[in-house]
């Protein structure tokens, strides 16, 4: 494999005769480039200009000796990592020790044998080139990661832009959407099917990244625009069957998603829902803390995209005068608990039940509670939590 960096030798020595001798030693090795600096005062400038992979440095020179120059080279950011081989006529252990203490990588008594000199030049240069290539690979990875992070942030902003405005009145909505650092496939929404029926839905695409986000956006737009052919969007089972036919995973880069879809009928007070492998929402009935009932709105159903021809059964319940629904993705409860084990949906149900028994348990309060459970401000997966409060006037 061809290497991007050539072996480049810089000799700093006040004696031109030494430079000529070294040049001749290296002349037959055409992959080695040789440069010479006679003035030690220009050594750092020259090194910055040519970017050598090894510096041969004479120990005894006028004005600036080799040990002082070693210190300067190691203090300069652009030359700090370049291997230094000290050349000296001295064989004194104390001189060698001082050179190594100041940052020299090697020490040769000049002039060394040609074979030994070339071997040491190649050894130190190859190590330095490997370091350069590693740093370049890291910088390329960092730049790629920054570009990916920017794309994920843009995708997360786009997902947020699709979230509907909160509802007020007899039907109120509040929600929290917290994308993970790698962005998952959470999305949710609600819209009026007609004057009396409100569709409510939350889905979670498997995997992370822009691809998962794009699939969730596509599915949400399909629901909002009611673009599935021959599907009654007031019938949750029909909607999920239509989604399953439209989003088979072999056509979606092997991605699938779970979804809960419910329709509330204002006239009858009934909530009809179906699920495709999604965690069951939590229904809270009652108005006063300490006097509420909580239940899971379970409905069986296979994931969207897994197998063609799936059918999904509807479940219907009558809502009381005051009902709150908490619809969520599994990222909110799949967090490490106090004992280090990952919490399950049942644990989350108990936490929400406890909060509702003491307070109104807003989405923000639930999120903070789950952050406290894992002792972290960030979640590993996307977190979506939608609260829908439905108030019914008394009959008569």
330 and 349 Cβ atoms separated by less than 8 Å: no
Number of H helices, E strands in the chain: 9, 15
Q: Work out the burial of residue 269: count CB atoms within 10 Å of its CB; fewer than 13 is exposed, 13-18 middle, 19 or more buried.
A: middle
- pLDDT attached to residue 65: 85
pTM passes above 0.85: no
Q: How far apart are CA 249 and CA 172, in angstroms?
A: 35
Which tokens in the block code for residue 38? 């006679």
Under the banding of pLDDT at 50, 70 and 90, the label for residue 287 is: low
- pLDDT attached to residue 148: 66
206 and 268 Cβ atoms separated by less than 8 Å: no
Q: Strand pairing partners for 198?
A: 192, 264
CATH fold of 7-136 reads: Rossmann fold (3.40.50)
Give tens-digit pLDDT for 4-45.
Answer: 789 999 999 999 999 999 999 999 998 999 999 999 999 999
Give the start-to-end residue ranges of the domains of the chain. 7-136, 166-391
Report, as an integer, the average pLDDT of 281-292.
77
Q: Which CATH architecture has domain 166-391?
A: 4-Layer Sandwich (3.60)
Average pLDDT of the chain to the nearest whole number: 90
311 and 237 Cβ atoms separated by less than 8 Å: yes
- pLDDT attached to residue 289: 53
Matching fold, domains 7-136 and 166-391: no
Establish whether the linkage from the previous residue to 111 is cis, with ω within 30° of 0.
yes
Sign of CA dihedral 129, 134, 139, 141: positive
Q: How far apart are CA 82 and CA 74, in angstroms?
A: 8
83 and 53 Cβ atoms separated by less than 8 Å: yes
Q: Work out the burial of residue 174: count CB atoms within 10 Å of its CB; fewer than 13 is exposed, 13-18 middle, 19 or more buried.
A: middle
Q: How far apart are CA 73 and CA 28, in angstroms?
A: 29
Report, as an integer, the average pLDDT of 263-282.
96
**DSSP summary character for residue 336:** B
181 and 382 Cβ atoms separated by less than 8 Å: no
Q: How far apart are CA 255 and CA 139, in angstroms?
A: 31
């Amino acid at each position: 494999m061809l290497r991007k960096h050539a072996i480049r030798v810089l000799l700093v020595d006040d004696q031109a005769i030494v430079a000529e001798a070294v040049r001749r030693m290296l002349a037959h090795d055409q992959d080695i480039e040789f440069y010479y600096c006679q003035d030690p005062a220009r050594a750092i400038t020259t090194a910055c200009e040519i970017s050598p992979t090894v510096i041969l440095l004479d120990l005894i020179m006028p004005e600036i000796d080799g040990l002082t120059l070693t210190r300067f080279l190691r203090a300069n950011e652009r030359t700090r990592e370049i291997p230094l081989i000290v050349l000296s006529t001295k064989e004194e252990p104390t001189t060698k020790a001082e050179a190594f203490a100041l940052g020299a990588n090697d020490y040769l008594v000049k002039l060394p044998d040609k074979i030994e000199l070339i071997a040491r030049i190649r050894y130190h240069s190859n190590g330095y080139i490997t370091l350069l290539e590693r740093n370049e690979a890291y910088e390329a990875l960092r730049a790629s990661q920054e570009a990916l992070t920017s794309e994920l942030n843009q995708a997360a902003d786009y997902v947020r832009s699709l979230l509907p405005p909160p509802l007020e009145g007899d039907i109120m909505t509040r929600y929290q959407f917290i994308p993970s650092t790698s962005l998952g496939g959470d999305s949710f929404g609600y819209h009026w099917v007609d004057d009396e029926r409100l569709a409510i839905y939350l889905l979670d695409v498997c995997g992370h990244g822009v691809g998962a986000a794009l699939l969730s956006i596509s599915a949400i737009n399909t629901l909002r625009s009611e673009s599935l052919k021959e599907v009654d969007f007031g019938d949750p089972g029909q909607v999920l069957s239509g989604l399953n036919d439209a989003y088979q995973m072999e056509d979606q880069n092997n991605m699938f998603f779970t979804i809960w879809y419910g329709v509330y009928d204002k006239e009858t007070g009934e909530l009809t829902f179906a699920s495709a492998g999604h965690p069951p929402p939590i229904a809270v009935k009652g108005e006063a803390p300490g006097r509420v009932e909580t239940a899971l709105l379970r409905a069986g159903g296979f994931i969207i995209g897994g197998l063609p021809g799936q059918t999904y059964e509807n479940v219907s319940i009558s809502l009381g005068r005051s009902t709150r629904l908490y619809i969520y993705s599994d990222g909110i409860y799949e967090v490490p608990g106090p004992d280090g084990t990952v919490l399950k949906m049942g644990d989350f149900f108990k936490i929400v039940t406890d909060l509702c028994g003491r307070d109104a348990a807003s989405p923000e309060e639930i999120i903070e509670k789950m952050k406290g459970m894992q002792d972290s401000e960030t979640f590993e997966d996307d977190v979506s939590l939608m609260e829908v409060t439905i108030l019914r006037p008394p009959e008569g």
